[in-house]
C-alpha cells in the first residue's frame, strides 16, 4: 500500500507532485485556514506522514492519536509548535528546513518594515485609499529619516549579518549585540561595532531583532529595556514574537515613549492583540519573512527531501531530533 501524506495547507506544486509520485497525498486547500486540533488529529491519525507549516500545533494528543505516523515534516527552521520531546520518546523524526535558506528574505522584510514604519508608508496608503491626500509638503505625514542613522542589531546570526550588509546602502552606523562576539576581521568586513545590550538600546535610532528564541531571550525586550531606547527610536522584530513582551510594547507605544514598531512576529501567534492592531505607528505583517515565491518552493522541496528519505528507510537530512537514530 502506498504511504499516505497529509499537508496542512497548500504548498508549491512541484513539491506536491514529487510526493504524489510515491504516495497518496491529501491536503487542506484553504491557505487562510489553520487546522484545528480535532482536524489535525483526524488527519494525522490516518496518515503516515504529517507535512505541517508554521502555525500547526502538533501536540502530545495529536502524536498519540497517530500510531502509524513515520515522520513529522515541518517547513520551519525551529519546530516551536511541535511536541518534539513526545516525538523523540516515540522515536519519531521531526524534520525542519535549514535556517540559511531564509537569511536574505527575512533581512529584506526587516528592511521593508523599518522603512515602512519610519516613513509612515502604511499610514499614507490608508489615507490615499480613503480619499485623503494631504499637501505633500505639509507636516502631516512627517516621519523619521533612515540614511545616516544608527542601526542596532540584536543577534548576529545569518539574518543579522544580511541585515547589516543592507545598512551599507543607507550609510548607517551599525551596532550589534550578541553574547557571542564575531571575530574582529568579520566585524571589520561587515562594518560592525559590538556594544553591550544597554548601550545598543540607548544609542540606536532603529533596533532590529534577529536573535534566536531561547529561555534566555524570552521577553528580552520588556518595560525596562524598551524604556532604555531613544524616544524617537523604532523597534523591528522579524525573529520570534516572545522575544518581546507584547504588553510592555503596547504600553510603550501608547505612551509615545518610542516612535513606532515594525512587526512580523507576535507573542501568541496567530493571535494579535486588538490594542496593537489599533496603533497607527505600527506596521504589521503576518509572519511572512520567507514569503518569497522561489524560496517557499525551495522550502517545500526540502521538506519533501526529508519525507522521501524517511519513506526510503534513510536518515532524514534535516532532522531536528537526531538522537532518535542513536
pLDDT tens for the chain, 326 residues long, are 899 999 999 999 999 999 999 999 999 999 999 999 999 999 999 999 999 999 999 999 999 999 999 999 999 999 999 999 999 999 999 999 999 999 999 999 999 999 999 999 999 999 999 999 987 788 889 999 999 999 999 999 999 999 999 999 999 999 999 999 999 999 999 999 999 999 999 999 999 999 999 999 999 999 999 999 999 999 999 999 999 999 999 999 999 999 999 999 999 999 999 999 999 999 999 999 999 999 999 999 999 999 999 999 999 999 999 999 98
- Domain match, 57 and 170 both: no
303: containing domain: 4-99+292-325
**Active-site residue among 210, 240, 246, 267?**
240
Report whether 33 contacts 54 (CB < 8 A).
Answer: no
pLDDT, residue 154, reads: 98
* Active-site option among 86, 187, 203, 269: 269
My answer on whether 193 and 272 are in the same domain is yes
Which of helix, strand or coil describes residue 161? helix
The predicted structure's pLDDT at residue 138? 83
Please answer whether residues 31 and 9 qualify as being in contact, where contact means their C-beta atoms are separated by less than 8 angstroms.
Answer: yes
Query: Residue 224: which of 186, 191, 255, 198 has the closest Cα?
Result: 198
> Which residues make Cβ contacts (< 8 Å) with residue 3, sequence separation at least 6?
22, 23, 24, 48, 49, 70, 311
Q: Are residues 146 and 17 in the same domain?
A: no
Cell of 4: 499516505
- What's the length of the chain? 326
Same domain for 123 and 214?
yes
- Between CA 237 and CA 261 the distance in angstroms is 8
**Same domain for 301 and 228:** no
Identify the active-site residue in 287, 297, 312, 323.
287
A 10 A CB-CB count for 163 gives 28
Q: Is the dihedral of CA 139, 140, 144, 146 positive or negative?
A: negative
Same domain, yes or no: 113 and 93: no
User: Is 269 known to be catalytic?
Assistant: yes
Do 208 and 192 contact (CB within 8 A), yes or no? Answer: no
Identify the pLDDT of residue 326. 87
What is the DSSP pairing of strand 49-52 with strand 234-237? unpaired
| 3-class secondary structure, 164 | helix
Residue 137 has a pLDDT of 81
The CATH number covering residue 129 comes to 3.40.50.720
Quick one: 201 and 266 in the same domain? yes
Do 55 and 189 sit in the same domain of this protein? no
Q: Are residues 85 and 175 in the same domain?
A: no
Do both 252 and 105 map to the same domain?
A: yes
C-alpha cell at 289: 519573512
Residue 191 C-alpha cell reads as 562594518
In terms of Cα–Cα distance, which of 42, 57, 36, 172 is closest to 114? 172
Known catalytic membership, residue 55: no
The number of distinct structural domains making up the chain is 2
How far is the C-alpha of 164 from the C-alpha of 185, rounded, in Å? 15
Is residue 309 within 8 A of residue 53, CB to CB? The reply is: no
Are residue 251 and residue 106 in the same domain, yes or no?
yes
CA pair distance 209, 154, nearest whole angstrom: 5
Terminal CA-CA length for the chain: 29
2 flagged as catalytic: no
Amino acid at each position: 500500500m502506498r504511504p499516505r501524506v497529509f499537508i496542512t495547507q497548500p504548498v508549491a506544486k512541484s513539491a506536491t507532485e514529487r510526493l504524489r509520485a510515491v504516495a497518496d497525498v491529501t491536503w487542506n486547500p484553504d491557505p487562510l485556514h489553520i487546522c484545528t486540533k480535532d482536524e489535525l488529529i483526524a488527519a494525522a491519525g490516518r496518515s503516515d506522514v504529517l507535512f505541517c507549516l508554521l502555525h500547526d500545533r502538533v501536540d502530545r494528543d495529536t502524536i498519540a492519536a497517530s500510531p502509524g505516523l513515520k515522520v513529522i515534516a515541518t517547513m520551519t527552521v525551529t519546530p516551536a509548535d511541535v511536541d518534539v520531546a513526545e516525538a523523540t520518546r516515540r522515536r519519531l523524526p521531526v524534520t525542519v528546513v535549514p535556517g540559511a535558506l531564509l537569511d536574505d528574505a527575512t533581512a529584506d522584510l526587516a528592511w521593508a518594515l523599518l522603512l515602512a514604519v519610519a516613513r509612515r508608508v502604511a499610514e499614507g496608503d490608508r489615507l490615499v485609499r480613503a480619499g485623503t491626500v494631504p499637501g505633500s509638503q505639509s507636516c502631516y505625514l512627517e516621519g523619521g529619516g533612515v540614511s545616516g542613522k544608527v542601526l542596532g542589531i540584536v543577534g548576529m546570526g545569518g539574518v543579522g549579518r544580511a541585515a547589516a550588509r543592507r545598512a551599507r546602502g543607507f550609510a548607517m552606523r551599525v551596532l550589534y549585540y550578541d553574547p557571542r562576539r564575531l571575530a574582529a576581521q568579520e566585524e571589520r568586513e561587515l562594518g560592525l561595532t559590538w556594544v553591550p545590550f544597554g548601550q545598543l538600546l540607548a544609542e540606536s535610532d532603529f533596533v532590529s531583532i534577529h536573535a534566536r528564541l531561547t529561555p534566555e531571550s524570552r521577553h528580552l525586550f520588556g518595560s525596562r529595556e524598551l524604556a532604555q531606547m531613544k524616544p524617537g527610536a523604532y523597534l523591528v522584530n522579524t525573529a520570534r514574537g516572545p522575544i518581546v513582551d507584547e504588553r510592555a510594547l503596547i504600553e510603550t507605544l501608547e505612551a509615545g515613549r518610542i516612535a513606532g514598531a515594525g512587526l512580523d512576529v507576535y507573542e501568541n501567534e496567530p493571535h494579535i492583540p486588538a490594542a496593537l492592531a489599533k496603533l497607527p505607528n505600527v506596521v504589521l505583517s503576518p509572519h511572512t519573512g520567507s514569503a518569497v515565491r522561489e524560496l517557499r518552493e525551495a522550502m517545500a522541496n526540502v521538506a519533501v527531501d526529508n519525507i522521501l528519505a524517511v519513506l526510503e528507510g534513510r536518515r532524514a537530512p534535516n532532522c531536528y531530533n537526531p538522537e532518535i537514530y542513536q
